[in-house]
Amino acid sequence: MKKLFDGALQQRKSLQREIIAGITAFFAISYIIIVNPMILADAGIPAELSVFATIFSSVIGCLLMAFWSDAPIVLTPGMGINAFFTYTICVNMGLHWHEAIAISLVSGLIFVFVACTKWCTRLSQAVPGSLKSAITAGIGLYLVEIGLEKAQLIQRGANSMVELGSLTNPVALLAIFGLILSLLFYFRKVMGGFFIAILVTSVVGYFAGIRDAAPMDLNFANLAFYPQLLLKADFSNMMSIPFLLSVFSMSMIMIFETMGLLEGILPDQRKFKKTFEGSAFTTMFSGLLGTSPTVAAAESAAGIASGGRTGLMALTAAVLFALSLFFIPLLSFVPQAAIAPVIIITGAMMMQQLQYVEFNDFSEWFPAFLVVVLIPWSGSISTGLAFGFTAYPLLKLMNGRRQEVHVLGYGLGFLFLLNLVFQAGF
């Protein structure tokens, strides 16, 4: 018991810090409970059922992080990968969601194989540090974009891709208030500062009449129909080009996004292997449960910034995800404007990984640059990875420095190039 969670249970301050970190991380990612089912609904999965799959897979993932990895990482169905699941596989390629679930399961098997074998180390060594940092920074910039949109501080422009939202908009003003408060608590090193800022901003928003419209009503009677999502994978077309292409893309997204994220935010890198393994196995469970793949949530950084260092943070998040089954209606009282500041700050923290990119070496910086800008601008993590991994060996060859690229790096570059070529046909 003394060794559990690095002894945090025996130290009052550490216990409080880990629990507050877990609460903070949960509230930072709690929007996934509502958002993920709504995204998967566009793939044809009933939202009133996939909300259960979202919660159950998050609980299982966080418990694995707590007791297998002892890591301050929250696992949930990931933003980005759920968009790939829905809009790339189902909408653009025209595959049924049952086939998309099958793709998730096969990709999960590949992920598990990589995580539990020497391929984990081999791939980690094959991917240059600049691209690892770029993946974390690119996802961070993607989060910043998501946060600014939730805060209604940016919007689609009439004469440009993006323009500033109205600063007279009450939602934007509330988000600015929350951002200032969150930054103040962060700089003052207030324990649970992000969580306190979310609560205070939510209370201010409530009295100001700012409340998001609930996208769905959860009826517990629907739990009886939830088995309709269990074990519904369709492997009938698994040898088709769209199926195989989707498996490759999804596998690469899960492996390298998780690898880059964990190497970027995990406080104790000695826990990387078990955390990587736990994340891999959870992707399997998510497919069996009937939702898009579960990945390490970037919002875990909010909990880590609040002091989370052990699996106790993940355990706290697991308990809160389980309790959310009974309190989903209360989540509607936490407006997006209250969550957006934490997402923005978390994204900015992740972008600090750019400091490890060699800006003076253009053959290192340009591929990293492609990853960073194309992830948010294309709205696709796989697109950013494909361009970055293809450009890296190409630029090294052009620069007469081919020996600097790991032999697997050339293989990955070629596979990502094929991925872009095949995607262009769909």
From CA 125, how far away is CA 119, in angstroms rounded?
Answer: 10
- Contact assessment for residue 86 and residue 43, using Cβ atoms and an 8 Å cutoff: yes
- Contact assessment for residue 345 and residue 143, using Cβ atoms and an 8 Å cutoff: no
pLDDT(297) > 90 = no
pLDDT in tens, 126-176: 888 888 888 878 878 887 888 898 888 988 877 788 888 888 999 999 999
Greatest mean pLDDT range, 9-18, 78-87, 219-228, 248-257 = 248-257
Task: From 380, 367, 363, 149, select the one nearest 257 (Cα to Cα).
Answer: 380
pLDDT(300) > 80 = yes
Structure confidence at residue 423 (pLDDT): 66
- Residue 271 CA, distance from chain mean position: 19
Structure tokens given for 341: 């500041």
What's the whole-model pTM score? 0.76
Task: From 343, 333, 299, 347, select the one nearest 150 (Cα to Cα).
Answer: 343
Structure confidence at residue 1 (pLDDT): 44
pLDDT in tens, 362-377: 999 999 999 999 988 8
Share of the chain above pLDDT 90, in %: 23
